[in-house]
Amino acid sequence: MRHPASWLFVFLVFVAAGCSNPIAREPANVFPGSDSYAKRVQSFKIQPAEAHDLALNQARKDNNVQFVSRRPTVVVKRWYVFSLPQASGASSRGYHVNGDTGEVKFMKEDKAIAHTKR
């Protein structure tokens, strides 16, 4: 008979594997056209068309319409990002719309958001 501690170890490994959060395994940045993007957007209260309208309305108030793309260039965690696309991904500079609350903010900082390789 094997040592009881080895059975406990195997049991704990199975419990830990079964309790993991599936969204945590998804990348933070998801791009339109990917399965991860579709899953993330499906979990939002605000859908892409409504997020675009919210971003565009705020951009018109701010006189910054040039920063609003027709569709999200990327979703970062729980935020749609409407920005100018880049060859290697997207720019963080643009309007960000929270997919749960509809909050809109303009990000001035221009950082590259690279395509996730998953």
Instruction: Name which of 87, 41, 47, 96 is nearest 67 in CA terms.
Output: 96
Predicted pLDDT of residue 88 = 77
For the chain, the domains span: 27-114
CA pair distance 21, 13, nearest whole angstrom: 15
What does the pLDDT profile of the chain (118 residues) look like in tens digits? 555 555 555 554 444 554 555 545 678 999 999 999 999 999 999 999 999 999 999 999 999 888 788 899 999 999 999 997 777 788 899 999 999 999 999 999 888 888 765 4
CA pair distance 61, 9, nearest whole angstrom: 59
Predicted pLDDT of residue 32 = 93
The model's pTM: 0.75
